[in-house]
Chains A and B, each alone.
Chain A
Amino acid sequence: MLAFRTAMTAFRRAPLLSALSVTTIAFSLFAFGLFGLVALNIKNALQRVEERVEIRAFVAEKTPVESIAVAADEIANYPQVLKVDIVTQSQALERARTELGEFRDVFESEFLPASMDIKLKPGFRDPASVKTVAANIRNFAFVDDVRFGEEWITQLYRLRNIAGVVGAALGLAFAVVAIIIIGATIRMAVLARSKEISIMRLVGATDGFIRRPFLIEGSIKGVLGGMLALVLTYLAMRTLEQYLHFETVFFDRRLALLGIVFGALMGLMGSAVSVGRHLRRI
């Protein structure tokens, strides 16, 4: 309780330095947050594209619908498969007319083959899983051909992997920069009170007692900085949406909370390191 009161007093005694610390933490986390937002939206966009990954198995002419239904049930039970839709010849024609409207008049008879459209579960849309499922489907005698856009899926996954690696590296770099800046800011706050710390030590305060208010202060600054960064990130996203006219996704509650916890941890760790170093020196 005393440590909390001391931390609050420190805010009151040096409002400018405290505000500066919170703002610095906020802007460091804001840069990290903006990066996170871009990464999140790229991930979402790739996920939407990924959802379109499907296998189309074309069925030989005159295959009884019952046989196709039995096969579809069997395929639906594969662990990788989300759902199987049977597309009859007439449905295939209708779809072609819808999708290729300019050729509507050309499509007169049911010349397109029936098919099974197989959607895969998330986590099984990578090239290897798709190939495995496609190979199994090829084993059905009445299946004429299996298409799944092999090259497209391979390219998509390559892009996803590159985005993942670049994202992780950039994220790490942003996080490190944020940690360094936050650490330096908190160190400034600790140095500003170095005389107080020296006196505390001389009159017999324990290191734990000296540390506690700084840790509380650092955590509070981190939480405030994290919250401010969240607001700034949200405002930046809204502004971008307004001018660039595209829809973006913001952090959900869990991620937002994680951001604030990250801020608090940065504040806590920055303080712990700075005070610890200072205590070792005096």
Chain B
Amino acid sequence: MIRFVNVTKNYPRAAGATALRDVSFRLGKGEFAFLTGPSGAGKSTILKLLYMSERPTYGEVRVSGYSSTKVKQREIAELRRRLGIVFQDFQLLEDRTAEANVAFALEVIGTPRASIPGKVARALTQVGLASKATALPRELSGGEQQRVAFARALVNDPFVLIADEPTGNLDERATRGIFQLLREINASGTAVIMATHDLALVRSTDYRCIELNHGAIVFDSADAPRVEVEMD
């Protein structure tokens, strides 16, 4: 489903020019994996390569049949409709209600208007925010705002949820709530790949953990410290 094959990513103009070195791994259908490592280790770069906001300098990224070596801009849009993406800073539109934020993800891909309210309500219910559908982001707590972001990511029934430090801005209680939500999402069949600094969170579960350092995979719990890991 997701495959990185000897991926190297260089940023010629940046100080630390090489963000990833020869990274290879696979992520199977419905799997849950943490990406851990210090800042600058390459976690976010892996996620950007996954949703093809970046392309590898060398190697290949394959996501659900789309290859980074051949994909066209229009196909990237098609791919992203099948991904759910959440960020540390929620990325919500401040002037729109929770339900409008979720509906936005459907409107911009041309979903028929009649089917939008039902899908939005289902997504908000899934994240436990049905009662706050008409609240603006500023009227919600950090945890609740992140739940709205999750609802937006889930509303198109993605096959994988990509979460970049989703609990980074949250207190411990909200973090637990969001992580429980991630478990539920994964239990319903959606794969999850989550970048995090929170080692306590990682250790508290038996999910797969891929640890990065200086752009290389230094540990993969699925198969002892090795560069390429087969997970299908």
A residues contacting B by CB (< 8 A) are: 2, 13, 195-196, 198-207, 209-210, 282
Contact = CB atoms under 8 A, between A and B. Distances in A.
Contact of A203 (B73, B74, B104): B104
Contacts of B104: 199-200, 203
Closest 7 A/B residue pairs (Cβ) = A204-B81, A204-B80, A205-B108, A203-B105, A206-B77, A200-B108, A204-B77
Contacts of B107: 2
Given A203-B105, A206-B74, 15 more contacts: A13-B95, A198-B91, A199-B91, A199-B105, A200-B108, A202-B85, A203-B80, A203-B81, A203-B85, A203-B104, A203-B109, A204-B83, A204-B108, A207-B73, A209-B110
Nearest to A202: B85
Contacts of B147: none
A196 to B, nearest CB: 6
A196 B51 contact: no
B91 A203 contact: no
A205 B108 CA distance: 5
A196 B108 CA distance: 11
A130 B186 CA distance: 91
A198 B89 CA distance: 13
State the majority secondary structure of interface residues on A.
Answer: helix
A203 B51 contact: no
A204 B78 contact: yes
A125 B152 CA distance: 72
Nearest to B152: A203
A71 B53 CA distance: 83
29 contacts: A2-B110, A13-B95, A195-B93, A198-B91, A199-B91, A199-B93, A201-B77, A201-B80, A202-B85, A202-B91, A203-B80, A203-B105, A203-B108, A203-B152, A203-B156, A204-B79, A204-B80, A204-B81, A204-B82, A204-B156, A206-B74, A206-B77, A207-B73, A207-B74, A207-B77, A209-B108, A209-B110, A210-B108, A282-B53
A196 B80 contact: no
Contacts of B73: 207
Interface string B202-227: 00000000000000000000000000
A100 B7 CA distance: 97
